[in-house]
Amino acid sequence: MGLQPGPIRRIEKTRESPSQNLASKLTMKAPKGAIFEEKYRVVAVDGQRLTIRGVRSGKVLTIVNPDPDTPLTPAEYPPGKLIKLSDPSRSPAN
């Protein structure tokens, strides 16, 4: 009489790894104010719109000028010009 093998049972782990769970909850969103820490190149100027691309991130932003009396011009923002955005919430109040 030898040993008789019992039924084969498969054990599956259903618990998620804590680090995997944490990583899945984190997003790749930039921290608040991060757009003001990057430099941008002017891509296009079209009257009231300025299109720029982040040097590091490659993110494309379109800035709309709220003042129709002072249009944005290619002379002021030539394509390829390197600019940095300023945070209006950090400037002193008028």
The per-residue pLDDT for range 31-61, each reduced to its tens digit, is 556 888 899 999 999 889 999 999 999 999 9
The parent domain of residue 48 ranges over: 34-67
Contacts of 81 (CB under 8 A, 6+ apart): 41, 42
In 11-72, beta strands by DSSP E:
39-46, 49-54, 60-64
**In a domain? residue 93:** no
Q: What single letter denotes the amino acid at residue 61? A: L
Whether the CB-CB separation of 41 and 52 falls below 8 Å is answered with yes
Indicate the residue type of 40: Y
Look at residue 18 and tell me if it is in a domain: no
Q: What's the pLDDT at 25? A: 43
Quote the number of domains for the chain.
1
Q: What is the token pair recorded at 33?
A: 């104010």
Of residues 77 and 10, which shows the higher confidence score? 77
